[in-house]
Chains A and B, each alone.
Chain A
Amino acid sequence: MALSGIQIFKLTPKKNCKECGCPTCMAFSMKVAQGAKQLSDCPYMSEDALAQLAEATAPPMKTIKVGAGDSEHSLGGETVLYRHEKTFVNKTLYATNLCSCMDDAEIDARLERLPQVDYERIGERMYTEFLNVNYKEGTDAAKYVEIAKKAAAVRPVILSVKDEAVAKAALDAVKDTKPVLNGADASNYEAFCKLAADAGVVLGVSGKDLDELYDTTAALEKLGNKNLILDVTMDTAKATFEAAVQVRRAALKDGDRTFGYPSIVNVNRLTDDKTMQEALVATFTMKYGSIVIVDEMDYAMALPLYGLRQNLFTDPQKPMKVAPGIYPMNGADENSVCLTTVDFALTYFLVSGELERSGVPCNLVISDAGGLSVLTAWAAGKLSATSVATFFQENVESKIKNRTLIIPGKVAVLKGDIEAKLPGWKVIVAPLEAVQLVKFLKDLKANGEI
C-alpha cells in the first residue's frame, strides 16, 4: 500500500535543508508519495527510516530502461490498470521486424523505409522506437550479427535469439547500445542470465505458458537478475491476450512482484495478415504491452495507432492542448474570416473537423486557454475579452487583413466586450454546438456576411 505524504514526512529529518531540491521536507514528502521524487534524494534519511519506507514505497512494477544516450527509453513503472485511476506512466513503444532469414536487399529496404514514419502530433514525436532483430534457427550467425549492427546504428534493438552462441556474438557487437536480449526461457535461462548480466543489458524472458514464464522469471530473480522484460507472446492471440492481462494484473492488483516487469508482445508471431496486425497492435497498446513488435510500420498502421496511444497515455486530468496560433482551413488566406476557440485538443478537433466539412475558407485562431473547454476556460477567466483581444492584437492583426471574428456561441456574453477591446473588428456569435457550424458558415457565406 502506498504511503501518504504525511506518513513519509514523519520519517524525514524535518530540517528543511533544501538539499533535495525541495524547499521543505513537507514538499519533498508529498513528491515522494506522488512518485515524483525518490527517497534516496534526501541525504539525511536515516537507515532505519529508509528500511521502513523501502518496502512500502517500492513500486509494484519496475521501471526498466532500454537503449543508450538519447535513445534511452523507460518501460513499465505502471501503478494502475485503467487510465482514469491515475495517469499511465510509460507509453507503449513499438518495434518493427528484421530477421536473419531476410536477404540483404530486404533488410536494406526495411531500414530505408523505417524513418519515413516520423512525424509530430500535438507536441509528441511519432516514430518506431525499436527494431526487433530476429534470429531464425539454422541461418548464418555472422549475418545475424551484421544485421544487428546495422539495426543498432539507427535504433535500440531487441535481440530475439535463443541460441547462446549467436546471442553472445550479437551482444559483443552491440551491447553498448543497451539492447534487450530477448531469449531466456526455461531451457537456457541460466546461461542467458549470465550473458545479459555480463553485457549489462535487459533480459527478455518467455515461456510456453504463464506457469513456465512465472517459474523462469522467479528463477532468474533468484539468480539475482531483476533487470527483466517479460515476453508474453504465446501460441495464439487469445493466450497472448490472457498473458498480457494476467501479468499486469497480478503485479498491480494482486501484489505479485514476480510479474512486476514490463512486457513485450510480438504480434508478428501471431499473424501474417497486415490488417490483423493492425488490430492486434491496437489491442496490446490498450492492454498492457510495453513494447509491441509488428512486421513493419507504415502510415496506415501508424496514424490511428499513435493517435490512440496519445489519447490513452495522456493525464486524464490534464487535457491535451494544441499550440496557440492561426490555423488556416480550406485554403484560407489573410482575407479570410477568423474564428476563435480554446486550445483544448478535443474542442480543436471538433471545431476544425466541422470547419473542414463546411468548405468555407477561414482562419481558426487558437489562443492559450489553459487547455480547458470553452465554458470552463471562460469560468476560470482563461478565455476572456481581454485574452482574446490581446492575442489578436499581438498575433493576428499583423497577419490577417479580414476584420470579422466569429466567437463560440457559449461565450456570446463576451461579444460586446471584445468589440470594445478590439476596435475595428466585427464580432459574430457562432451557434452553441460545433455540429451547427457547417450550416452557419454556409449561411453567412450565402448572405455575403463573410
Chain B
Amino acid sequence: MPFNRKAHKFSASIGTVEIGTGDKAIKLGGENVMPFYTFDGSMGDGPKVGVEITDLGLDAEPQGVKDYYAGCTSFADIAKKAEAMPGGDFVVLRLAGGDPNGANKSTEELVAIAKEVSDAISCPLVVEGSKNVEKDAELLPKVAQALEGKNVLLMSAKEENYKAIGAAAALAYNQKVGAESAVDINLAKQLNVVMTQLGVSAQSIVMNTGSAAAGYGFDYTISTFDRVRAAALGQDDKMLQMPIITPVASETWSVKESTAEESDAPEFWGPVEERGIAMEVETAVACLVSASDAVILKHPKSVATISEFIKSLM
C-alpha cells in the first residue's frame, strides 16, 4: 500500500506584484502553497534575490564584497556590477547615509545617487530609505518622483510615515511600495488596511513583516511569517496576501558573528568573512522556507548560493 499523499491545497493565493520594466521585470509572489511545497501547488515564479548596494560606497564592506566591486569608481559602476552579480534578480539601493543620526546626507544628494543607479541598470530596482521615519517621509517621495516610469519598489512605508510614502510612491508616481511593520501579524495587517484606505491598491504593496539575524529574536520573525501565510492562504485574508520581501544583509552583517575580526574573536571562530556569509545564507534560507518571496543579500557568494538553493527546490 503506497503512501497516501494528501495535497494541502488552499483556495487562496499570494498576490503578484511586478517591479521593473521590460524584459527584466520580475513578479514577486503568486504562489498558492507554503514555501517550496511544490507538491501541493504552484510557487509562481519562485522567490527572487536582490543585491544590495548603499550610498555609503564600499569602504565598510567585507573584503569579498570590496573585491567583487573592485575598479568601480562611481555609483553607476557599482550598480552595473551589482546587476551583473550571478544569481541576482534585482538591485537594491539602500540609502543608509540619509540617517540624520548618521551621515545625514541631503535628500538632493541621495536622489541624485538613486537616479545615477537607476539610469545605469536595466533590471528592477528597489530603493530602501534611511530607516529614519521623518527622513524617509521626505526622501522616498522625492526618489519616487525622480524615478518615475521605472516601476521601482520603495521601502519602507511604516505606520508613522505610510501616508507620505504610500501616496507619493504608489499614487502620484505609480511605483510600488513596501509596507514595513514590527514582527506582529496584526500590525502588518493594519498597515495594509490603512494603506489600502489611502487608495494604494493591494497590487502595489509588498510587505516587510520584519527581519532579524538568526539567533537575534528570529523566533518572532518566523512566527509572524508562519501566521501571515496561514491567514493569507488558509483564511483568504486579502489584507495579508501581499508578497513579502525581507532585507537580510542589513541585519546579518552587523551582528558580532559577522563583524568580529578573527584576531578579536573567541578561539576557533575562524575567518570573519566565512562567518558573515554563513550568517547571511542561513538567515536567508530560514526566511525563504518560512514565507519570503524575495530576500535582499549583498555578498556574491551568498547571492550565488541562495539563487542556486532556490533553483534546487523549485
Contacts and interface: CB of A to CB of B under 8 A. Distances in A.
A237 interface: yes
A107 B270 CA distance: 21
Contacts of A439: 101
A102 B160 CA distance: 60
A254 B6 contact: yes
A83 B284 CA distance: 19
A300 B266 CA distance: 12
A311 to B, nearest CB: 4
Contacts of B308: 276
Interface in B280-314: 281-286, 289-290, 301-302, 305-306, 308-309, 312-314
Given A279-B285, A304-B283, 16 more contacts: A214-B1, A215-B1, A253-B8, A276-B305, A276-B308, A279-B306, A282-B214, A298-B268, A299-B270, A304-B252, A312-B222, A314-B219, A345-B217, A353-B216, A356-B256, A439-B101
A295 interface: no
Interface residues of B, number: 59
Contact of A214 (B2, B227, B269, B283): B2
Interface stretch (B16-24, B46-54, B271-279): B271-279
A298 B270 CA distance: 8
A354 to B, nearest CB: 10
Nearest to B305: A275
Contact of A304 (B213, B230, B290): B213
Contact of A117 (B39, B268, B290, B301): B268
Interface in B59-81: none
Contacts, number: 174
Contacts of A419: none
A350 B217 contact: yes
Central interface residue in A116, A246, A280, A320, by most chain B CB within 10 Å: A246
Contacts of A210: 3, 5
B129 to A, nearest CB: 14
**Interface of chain A: mostly helix, strand, loop or mixed:** helix
A210 B216 CA distance: 36
A250 B6 contact: yes
A246 B285 contact: no
| Interface band, chain A | 35 or more
Nearest to B310: A279
Interface of B: 1-6, 8, 36-39, 101, 131, 213-220, 222-223, 226-227, 230, 252, 254-257, 266-271, 274-275, 277-279, 281-286, 289-290, 301-302, 305-306, 308-309, 312-314
Contacts of A281: 282
A262 to B, nearest CB: 17
Contacts of A273: 305
15 contacts: A210-B3, A210-B5, A215-B1, A218-B1, A236-B312, A238-B36, A241-B313, A273-B305, A279-B285, A283-B289, A300-B274, A301-B282, A304-B214, A304-B279, A311-B222
